[in-house]
Structure 1
Amino acid sequence: MNFDQLNTFISVVETGSFQKTAKTKYVSQRSVSQSMQKLEEELGFELFKRGKNKIIVTDQGQAFFLKTKEMLHSYFVEINSLRHQTTSVHQEFKIGYFSPFEGALMRKQVYAFSKKYPNIKFKITEESIEHLISDVSLGILDMAYILDYGSQEFLTKNLTSKTVFQSTMVIGVSKLNPLSQNNTFPIKALKDKPMLYYSPEKTNYLKHAFLATLPEAYQNIPVARVSTIEQMQTLVTANQANAYYPDGLIQLGSNTESEISYLPLQGNENSQKFKIQSIYPKQSKKCNLIKQFLG
């Protein structure tokens, strides 16, 4: 498996044709077909269903397409960043965040800080909560924004934290659903549809945190991770699922949808409190910079 294969695969999915991809890459259609067949053999599953003069992307192929685009995008962003690194007076500040919700809060702070200190060069990473904790502990990141929700412990002995935001989790419900007209989301309705949460990487942190806040009778409801905000919002909008969100941060970002109502969980508001914590090493060369950034 190589970059040329993956780029060819992306082109085939986007054009819907081996022939069109072959023309754009100035190779034969047979070459494209053989490359995709070899890729399927390496992966161990079908990417396409082949018919007469047409191809259909399989479910596994569609999932692999999304992951491949995300991976290649991250790779080229990183390469481009390395190409433009200089030995100037810029000081690098590496920050991680968990989701676009915390990302919106981070952007406001980055903007305000950059106005005061234009020589700071920011490097930003989106990762799972577990990955962020690990990267800050190892010094790969200078600090990270963590969604502190439920009763789970996340700080290690070498990390400290500061609360930068707090509110409650709310349930997103399609306005096609009559429940969207309520002031609160009935807890019994948790069994009506699958419950979704967002994470850029595979993680059970938010799933376990959410289930732990519920009465015992509801701790086995189906809860599933979604890897893109767009997919989660679409499924909720179509009334195929509900999802849980950090209230207050939805409004900061660009993810508020007129088709979705965000409701507190009935009788469970206190257990749904969360904090956004900035975590960073207790002993760090950049402690003063981090404290200035956080105010």
Structure 2
Amino acid sequence: MLLKQMKYFITIVDCHSFTEAAELCYISQSAISQQMKALENELGVELFKRNNRQFTLTLAGEYFYRHGKELIEEIENLKKETIRRGEDQELSLKIGYLRCYGAQELHHAIAQFSKTYPEVAISITNGTHEELYELLKSHDVDLVISDQRRAFNNDYFNYELLYSDCFIEISNLNPLSQKDKLTKEDLKRISCILVSTKQQESTEKDFYQNTLGFSNQFLFAQTLEEARLMVVSNRGFLPIEAVGTLPPPAPGISRIPLYHHDKQLQRNYCAFWEKAKTSYYIEEFAELLRQLLKEI
């Protein structure tokens, strides 16, 4: 059985026409019909039920179409990846993650991936949600681990990792640190500390204020470590999301679940990458991270 015959068959079914399929495949209608007869003879079963110019698929034909299409896609991906490996001087994977990300599974995923694929050079950068989005659009990163803030874009794989629980980190000097849970109403008179570059401060403030509903004064830190030092000194609270296993809070800080009514707030976290730039390594890393997060 020739791969070309399988492609002819799938094209015929997709077009619902031998004539249109022949035109798309740049062969004559009689030639494509002969190829289908030869394919059926080799398999020893009928794939089509023919009725003059019309046809339907037999049960065998439906099975062959469904699994044949999957096989063709796998072969095309194999071909693309083989060509890419042959053209690349160095295999690389550029990962972007949120500046405020503090859980451990991303580190474990990178370590495990590097052990399995030592030939791939990994580079890592962090940023705010919008900075990561721009890096992805400009192809400066291959894969982004970030929260969902806009509708999914069909040009990208939007690979959902998990819904993360939301917490507040607050100084033990603040009376609210004694509570079992907090609400945005509890926190409205305390400054909200956000991790952001200076260029993105207004964007981050707008999101937390107008989308998430924090009616607070805002303070900004360049790094997660700086933000936690501000928390320890009782300058405000830090919103944080458990995208995996968070390390214990630093001395002098309490980590308290953030609730809305009777339910802890959650945010959707995803791996994002461009469909046109997908590769085996990107998909493998995203799946590895997802599996590690599922084990929590």
With the shorter chain as reference, the TM-score category is 0.5 to 0.7
Match of 1:178 in 2: 175
Opposite residue 207 of structure 1, the aligned amino acid is K
Deviation digits for residues 95-119 of structure 1 (CA, Å, limit 9, x no counterpart) = 1111252674322111111111111
Match of 1:267 in 2: 260
Q: Does residue 276 in structure 1 map to residue 257 in structure 2?
A: no
Match of 1:225 in 2: 220
Q: Does the CA-based 8 Å contact 1:207-1:224 persist in structure 2?
A: no
- The alignment partner of 2:106 has SS state of helix
Greater mean alpha carbon deviation, residues 123-132 or residues 185-194? 185-194
Deviation digits for residues 157-179 of structure 1 (CA, Å, limit 9, x no counterpart) = 42221122332221111111121
RMSD: 2.7
> d(CA) in 1 for partners of 2:205 and 2:103?
20
Q: Does the CA-based 8 Å contact 1:165-1:277 persist in structure 2?
A: yes
> d(CA) in 1 for partners of 2:255 and 2:179?
10
> d(CA) in 2 for partners of 1:98 and 1:235?
19
Give the unaligned 5+ runs of structure 1: 1-86
Opposite residue 227 of structure 2, the aligned amino acid is M
> Once the 2 structures are TM-superposed, how far is the Cα of residue 213 of structure 1 from its aligned partner?
2.9
> d(CA) in 1 for partners of 2:243 and 2:158?
20
> Once the 2 structures are TM-superposed, how far is the Cα of residue 244 of structure 1 from its aligned partner?
0.6
> d(CA) in 2 for partners of 1:102 and 1:230?
10
> d(CA) in 1 for partners of 2:262 and 2:203?
20
Q: Does the CA-based 8 Å contact 1:102-1:276 persist in structure 2?
A: no
Structure 1 vs Structure 2: percent identity of aligned residues? 19
- The alignment partner of 1:97 has SS state of strand
Q: Within 5 Å, give how 1:63-142 maps onto structure 2.
A: 90-99=90-99, 101=101, 104-142=104-142
Q: Does the CA-based 8 Å contact 1:137-1:159 persist in structure 2?
A: no
> What TM-score do you get using the length of structure 2 for normalisation?
0.59
Opposite residue 281 of structure 1, the aligned amino acid is E
Q: Does the CA-based 8 Å contact 1:213-1:272 persist in structure 2?
A: no
Match of 2:205 in 1: 207
Opposite residue 290 of structure 1, the aligned amino acid is I
Give the unaligned 5+ runs of structure 2: 1-86, 288-296
Opposite residue 158 of structure 1, the aligned amino acid is D
> Once the 2 structures are TM-superposed, how far is the Cα of residue 91 of structure 1 from its aligned partner?
0.6
> d(CA) in 2 for partners of 1:97 and 1:201?
18
Opposite residue 276 of structure 1, the aligned amino acid is Y
Q: Does the CA-based 8 Å contact 1:97-1:103 persist in structure 2?
A: no
- The alignment partner of 2:199 has SS state of coil
> What TM-score do you get using the length of structure 1 for normalisation?
0.59
Q: Does the CA-based 8 Å contact 2:105-2:245 persist in structure 1?
A: no
Greater mean alpha carbon deviation, residues 165-174 or residues 259-268? 259-268
* Count of matched residue positions in the alignment of Structure 1 and Structure 2: 199
> d(CA) in 1 for partners of 2:96 and 2:103?
9
Q: Does the CA-based 8 Å contact 2:170-2:232 persist in structure 1?
A: yes
